Amino acid sequence: MECSARDLGVTDNAHVQQQPPKLRVPATTGYLLLITRGALLWLVVPTAILCWILGWPYWHQRQATLGHVLGWADLNLVTVLQRGPLRLLVINPQPWTPFSDLPQVAHRLRAIDPA
């Protein structure tokens, strides 16, 4: 008994147009995330700077700069928003950035981020 590729469920899909990959966040969710993050950065950035100033000996010992602390705070702010108020709208939220990874954080805030 012979069986063909069609009998096994294999079809030639060369003519089918590939779908673009799904975005991690839909456009409306991205807009909500941008607006909410922008407003909350006005609270998070001064708090992170104050924590960095007060804990300078600790940060210096761990070789964590102000940029590391601000980047870590921003990454976790986005994660809080994706896993909190916007959890029903976010398809694939970003993972938490653990405190132990703070000296290796490469993300930096830019001057236009809070705008």
The pLDDT tens digits of the residues spanning 44-98 come to 999 999 999 999 898 888 888 999 999 999 999 989 998 998 888 888 888 898 9
Q: Give pTM, 2 decimals.
A: 0.71
Confidence of residue 18 (pLDDT cuts 50, 70, 90): very low
Closest CA to 54 of 69, 42, 74, 39: 69
* 81 part of a folded domain: yes
* 88 part of a folded domain: yes
* 96 part of a folded domain: yes
Q: Calculate mean pLDDT across residues 15-35.
A: 63
pLDDT exceeds 50 at position 3: no
Domain count, the chain: 1
Residue 85 C-alpha from the chain's centroid: 15
* 28 part of a folded domain: no
* 109 part of a folded domain: no
The parent domain of residue 59 ranges over 46-104
* 13 part of a folded domain: no
pLDDT score, position 51: 93
* 10 part of a folded domain: no
